[in-house]
Amino acid sequence: MKQLLILLVLLIGFMQNSVATEATASVSPYQVIEVTGNKLFTRIANNQEALNKFPELMRDIVEEELMPSVDYQYAAFKILGKHLKKTTAEQRVKFITAMRAYLVRTYANALTQYQNQKVLFEPEANLKANARSASVDVKIVDTGKPDIKLTFQMRKDRKTHQWKAYDMIVEGISLISTKQSEFNRKISDLGLDQVTIELASITK
Question: Strand, coil or helix: what is 108?
Answer: helix
pLDDT average, residue stretch 22-49: 73
Q: Where are the alpha helices (DSSP H) in the chain?
A: 2-21, 29-46, 48-53, 57-61, 72-80, 89-111, 175-190, 192-201
Give CA–CA dist 69/80, Å, rounded: 21
pLDDT at 196 over 70: yes
Q: Which CATH class is domain 2-201?
A: alpha beta
* Mutual angle of helices 175-190 and 192-201, in 10-degree steps: 120
> How many residues comprise the chain?
204
Give Cβ neighbours of residue 27 (< 8 Å, ≥ 6 apart).
163
pLDDT at 77 over 60: yes
Q: What pLDDT score was predicted for residue 26? A: 62
Least confident of 21-30, 48-57, 59-68: 21-30
Give pLDDT tens digits for 116-135. Answer: 778 888 888 888 888 888 88
Please indicate, yes or no, whether the overall pTM of this predicted structure exceeds 0.75. no
Give CA–CA dist 2/58, Å, rounded: 20
Quick check: 76 and 171 in contact, CB under 8 A?
A: no
pLDDT at 114 over 90: no
Least confident of 80-89, 154-163, 195-204: 154-163
**Cβ-defined contacts of 190-198 (< 8 Å, 24+):** 192/80, 192/83, 192/87, 192/91, 192/95, 193/91, 193/94, 195/95, 196/91, 196/94, 196/95, 196/98
Domain ranges of the chain: 2-201
pLDDT at 5 over 60: no
Q: What pLDDT score was predicted for residue 40? A: 74
Q: What is the average pLDDT score of the chain?
A: 80
pLDDT at 144 over 70: yes
pLDDT at 10 over 50: no
Half-sphere exposure of 68 (CA within 13 A, CB side): 10
